[in-house]
């Protein structure tokens, strides 16, 4: 049965879609960002790469806001009974850190893109105006911050994946299956 809202033992469809869509976008944005920085002015992707990167970066920000609202009005599944208290605390910390890093990475990307006062085109739908621009070295400082935050997200993602794999292959619990929407009810220990 498909659940819209998350339940005590499983994530709802919107939470699953938001998780995996954001994961795919971040996984694509990082290598695209690295690739863009190596291009010269005459490369065909010199204009196109940043356009896609900015549009998808803004999409991550929109999805992040939707995800935060959804989390605010919707329960999260409870931790599995096999999870130790330190694992639950670490999981909560990692998720909160993800949200902060994603938010500030998007903001620093916005500051890079609007440093010269130009707006950012969100695909071809509309433009996001430059509300903050003209600060001395804005593009350089925001670029350095953006890079450090993006690398931090990738490192945290590696930790997140390692934790999920540990739960699946070593602990043999349902943690990884739940984020794929494959578990309906946890079998409680008696």
Report the 3 state secondary structure along 166-187: HHHHHCCCCHHHHHCCCCCCCC
How many CB atoms are closer than 10 A to CB 12? 19
Q: Any idea what the CATH number is for the domain that residue 164 is in?
A: 1.20.950
Question: Within a domain: residue 8?
Answer: no
Instruction: Give domain status of residue 186, yes or no.
Output: no
Query: What pLDDT tens digit does each residue of the chain (190 aa) get?
Result: 678 998 888 899 999 999 999 999 999 999 999 999 888 989 988 888 999 999 999 999 999 999 999 999 998 889 998 899 999 999 999 999 999 999 999 999 999 999 999 999 999 999 999 998 888 999 999 999 999 999 999 999 999 999 999 999 999 998 889 888 887 555 544 3
Q: In this predicted structure, what is the pLDDT of residue 188?
A: 45
| Domain assignment of residue 111, given as a range | 13-179
Number of domains in the chain: 1
Residue 188 lies in a domain: no
Among residues 62, 73, 84, the alpha carbon closest in space to that of 12 is found at 73
User: Domain for residue 3, yes or no?
Assistant: no
Tell me whether residue 112 is in a domain: yes
């Amino acid at each position: 049965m498909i659940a819209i809202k998350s339940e005590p033992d499983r994530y709802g469809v919107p939470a699953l879609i938001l998780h995996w869509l954001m994961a795919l976008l971040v996984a694509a944005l990082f290598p695209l960002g690295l690739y863009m920085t190596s291009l010269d002015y005459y490369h065909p992707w010199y204009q196109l790469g940043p356009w896609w990167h900015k549009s998808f970066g803004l999409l991550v920000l929109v999805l992040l806001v939707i995800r935060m609202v959804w989390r605010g009005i919707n329960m999260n599944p409870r931790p599995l009974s096999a999870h130790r208290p330190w694992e639950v605390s670490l999981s909560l910390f990692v998720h909160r850190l993800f949200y902060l890093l994603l938010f500030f990475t998007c903001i620093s990307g916005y500051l890079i893109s609007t440093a010269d006062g130009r707006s950012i085109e969100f695909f071809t739908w509309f433009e996001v105006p430059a509300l903050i621009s003209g600060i001395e070295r804005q593009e350089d400082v925001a670029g350095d911050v953006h890079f450090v935050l993006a690398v931090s997200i990738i490192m945290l993602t590696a930790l997140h994946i390692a934790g999920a794999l540990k739960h699946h292959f070593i602990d043999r619990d349902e943690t990884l299956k739940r984020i794929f929407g494959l578990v309906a009810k946890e079998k409680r220990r008696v």
